[in-house]
Structures are given as structure tokens and as C-alpha cells.
A and B are shown apart, each in its own frame.
Chain A
Amino acid sequence: MPTAVQAHIIQSGSEGFGSGFEHPLTGPDHFLAMFAVGLWGAQIGGRSIWTLPVAFPLIMVLGGVAGIAGIPLLGVEIGIALSIIALGLAIASAWRPAEWMALLLIAVFAICHGYAHGAELPNAADPADYAIGFVIATGLIHLLGIGVGLVLGKPFGGRLSQVLGGLIAVGGVYFLVT
């Protein structure tokens, strides 16, 4: 299992809202994936600006509930690293697939991310506050990605977004091999 991605699983005994809120912000693998979802949505444009960030948390909870229930799911951490690579490459190549295809891809990755967090949720001292903080922070990272994508989408024909996507993909490779 890649060791750097193991940092994604937080330690037991975590507490309420603050712990849930800071978890996505301090886990670089999760942060990059959430940011990339928003950035890609902004790059695709149209309805995808909001359908991708809306779909991601909704599907993520399916994986989360599976994690809470302890249903075994293999390769979650590798899936998380691959999600960063795939999203980064999609942005770098300015890939604009059909909406259903983008949502399908997002769904697979969202289940991996949700599972990792769901497995941790019952250990939180206050699961309610933890979940609220976690979801809000995740949504804010999506919004950050959308904002950055909209700002970088205009100058140089969107090349800056593509460069950023390439850097995200490199980050995913790092998580996969270390």
C-alpha cells in the first residue's frame, strides 16, 4: 500500500467539527482530488460546473456508508491515488467528455474517497459534528477548484489550468509510488 496515502486515514479518537473540517484540508491526497473535481467542472463548463461538485459528495456517502458498515473494499488507497492522476490528466489534456461519462468517472473515485472516510467516522468522538465539518470542508475545496478554474480558464486559452492539471497528476503519481 502506498505509504503517503496512508496519511489519508486519520487516527482514532478524532473529535468533532474542527477535526472533520481540517481533515480534508490537511490530507493532501484528498485535497488534490476535491480541488481537481472543481477545476475540471469549471474547465468543462456548462452544467458540469455544478453537477460534478454536487454529484461527488452524494456518491461519496455511498462509499462512506460501506466504510462505516465495514464492508470490505480492496484497493481503496490505490484508487484514491489513481483518482488524482486521472483527474489531473483529464484537466491537463482539456478532456471534455459527455456529462454522463464525467459523472461516471467521478462516481468511481468518489466511492474510494468516501470509503476511506466512512471507515473512520464511527471512531470520531462526535460523528455528527465530524461529518458536518468534513462535508463542508470538502464542498469548500470544490468551490475553490471551481473559482480557480474560472479565473485560469480565460488567460492564455486555458493553458494555466492545463499546467495545474499536469501538476496534480504528478502529485497523484507521487502518492501512488511512495
Chain B
Amino acid sequence: MSLENDTERTTPGALRWSGPLLAFLGIALICALILETRSERSVTTWWILNSGLSAERVMPLAGLGVAIALARGRHMAVALATFLLGVVLGIAFRDRYLAIMADVPGLTTHLFLTGPVSALTAGLLLILPARVRRWILPVCAMLIGAMLGVATTLTDPTLHDPAISMIATLIGLWILAAIGLSGHAFWHGWFPIAARILGSWLIAIGLLLGGAAIASKPPVLARPPPPASLTEGGANRFETPFAGINRQGDRSRNAARPSLP
């Protein structure tokens, strides 16, 4: 039976509100961080708001969360486990990934395509048929986790603080759990259609980001101004600060003046 036609998606009462509760607590925490005055913000807070919660990082995780919401309970648990494994692998094998991607032009300024790869993976996961999605969900979760691990270490402002990696993982798990549990508990028949539309958006975002990174045109240098003429001064000659005062030898302006007796 297709997962998407499963009408017996009931969640026990106590667990029913766990997803929305998680979402509420997380959003409240983020609001508290935003309301901190700028002078009070630590480097970690700054990283959370500007990198950890950036749209490029959150969108693929939201897509994976929706895919988890479309899956059954045991698939959800496996996906979360492989996501965690992916984060660890991404951090551990970051340098190998960077070495593989080093020859692709323009990637150093785009976090080595971690965002586009994540978005494409999450998007493909959502538009595939349910029976295929069920089996590739763990692999995709691992890949998205690995990209998160790589991106986290690349954007870590402290360079070595393990708290940054820990926070990035917690943010990822929070997004997956909040969306996955909420989707499970409040299932509607139109979810699969909405998931496919979201998937197409994620693929479009991934391709646009990847395209912007790889296929961007080289910067065009502005043409230098034409060299100034030595005789006339050209377009760049100095202007006289006051019209009435001029150099004695400037015939172009003195010619019309009557000479003093």
C-alpha cells in the first residue's frame, strides 16, 4: 500500500502536539536570540542567525523534514539516524570532499556547492514516487547531513569550537523533528501534492544556485577612459576653480580679453 494513501496515520494524543511544541520552543529561542542587542551577541549567536539559520541551510532541511513526514515511523527513525551519521561523515571527510570539488570553477565562494547539492537532493526526494522515496530516504538524509557538516565547518567563525558543529546538528534535528512530527500528526490528503510542489521549488533553487556558482559570467572590466590629450588637456583636464582667474599662458581663454595698457 502506498504510504501516501495511508489513512491510518494516527498519532497518540500525547505525541500529537510534540511537533508543534518543538516548533514553538525553537522559534521562541530564535526570537530571543534576535531580540538580543547587537552589542551583546556572541560569535556563536551571530553564526546561528546568519549561517546556521540561513535560507540556504534551512530550505533543504525543511524539504527533508517533509519527506520524513510522508514516511512511516520506522523510516523516520532510520532517516534521522542516517542524517546524524551524515553530519559526522561530512565533518570527518570535509577535506576529501573539498579536494574532489576543487577543480570545479567558482565553488570556493559558494561553500563548494553544499547548498545546491542539499536542495537538489531534498527536491528529488519529494517529487519521486512514494515507494521509491521510502528506500532512498536514508541515503538522501545522509547526503544532506554530510553537506550540512561540510558547510558548518566551512562557515565556523571560531575554526575549532565543537559547539558550532553541535548547534548546527541540533538545528538540523529540530527542523526535521518539528516538521516530520507535525506532518505525521496532522496528516491531510493533499500533503503529497504540496510536497511535490515544494520539491520542484527545491530543485529549481538548487539548479539556480549551482548555475550561479558554476556558469556565472566572468566579471567584465570597465573600459579605461581615453588618454587625455597633452595639448588640449582632453576630457580630464583640470578646471579652473574660478572662471575669472586663469593662467597667463592660456590663450584659449585670454584671447578674447582686452589686454591692459
**A3 to B: closest C-beta gap in Å:** 25
**B61 to A: closest C-beta gap in Å:** 13
Whether the Cβ atoms of B196 and A50 lie closer than 8 Å is yes
Question: Which of A53, A55, A129 touches B55 (beta carbons < 8 Å)?
Answer: A129
Residues of chain B within 8 A of A62, CB atoms compared: 207
11 contacts between A and B (CB under 8 A): A53-B200, A57-B200, A58-B203, A58-B204, A61-B208, A68-B212, A121-B211, A122-B216, A127-B212, A128-B55, A142-B197
Question: Which of A17, A53, A65, A139 touches B211 (beta carbons < 8 Å)?
Answer: A65
CB contacts under 8 Å to A, within B181-229, are: 193, 196-201, 203-205, 207-209, 211-213, 215-217
* Residue in B56, B203, B204, B207 with the greatest tally of chain A CB atoms within 10 Å: B204
* Cβ proximity bits B46-76 to A, threshold 8 Å, 1 near / 0 not: 0000000011100100000000000000000
Whether the Cβ atoms of A132 and B205 lie closer than 8 Å is yes
CB contacts under 8 Å to A, within B162-184, are: none
A127-B212, A128-B56, A132-B55 given; A61·B204 CB < 8 A: yes
* Cβ proximity bits B7-36 to A, threshold 8 Å, 1 near / 0 not: 000000000000000000000000000000
Q: Which residue of B lies closest to A139 (CB)?
A: B201
CA distance A60 to B204 in the complex (A): 8
Given contacts A50-B197, A127-B213, A135-B201, 9 further A-B contacts (CB under 8 A): A17-B55, A65-B215, A68-B216, A121-B212, A122-B216, A128-B56, A132-B55, A135-B208, A136-B201
CA distance A178 to B25 in the complex (A): 53
**B209 to A: closest C-beta gap in Å:** 5
* Cβ proximity bits A114-133 to B, threshold 8 Å, 1 near / 0 not: 00001001100001110111
Question: Which of A50, A55, A122, A131 touches B205 (beta carbons < 8 Å)?
Answer: A131
CA distance A139 to B197 in the complex (A): 8
Residues of chain A within 8 A of B59, CB atoms compared: 132
- In this complex, the interface size class of chain A, counting residues with CB under 8 Å from chain B, is 20 to 34
Whether the Cβ atoms of A54 and B208 lie closer than 8 Å is no
- The majority secondary structure among interface residues of chain B is helix
**A66 to B: closest C-beta gap in Å:** 8
Residues of chain B within 8 A of A60, CB atoms compared: 204
Residues of chain A within 8 A of B216, CB atoms compared: 68-69, 122
Whether the Cβ atoms of B197 and A64 lie closer than 8 Å is no
**B190 to A: closest C-beta gap in Å:** 9
CB contacts under 8 Å to B, within A156-174, are: none
Whether the Cβ atoms of B201 and A57 lie closer than 8 Å is yes
A143 at interface (Cβ–Cβ under 8 A)? yes
Whether the Cβ atoms of A127 and B197 lie closer than 8 Å is no
User: 5 closest Cβ contacts across the A-B interface?
Assistant: A65-B211, A57-B204, A69-B215, A131-B208, A61-B207
**A144 to B: closest C-beta gap in Å:** 13
A13 at interface (Cβ–Cβ under 8 A)? no
Residues of chain A within 8 A of B197, CB atoms compared: 50, 53-54, 139, 142-143
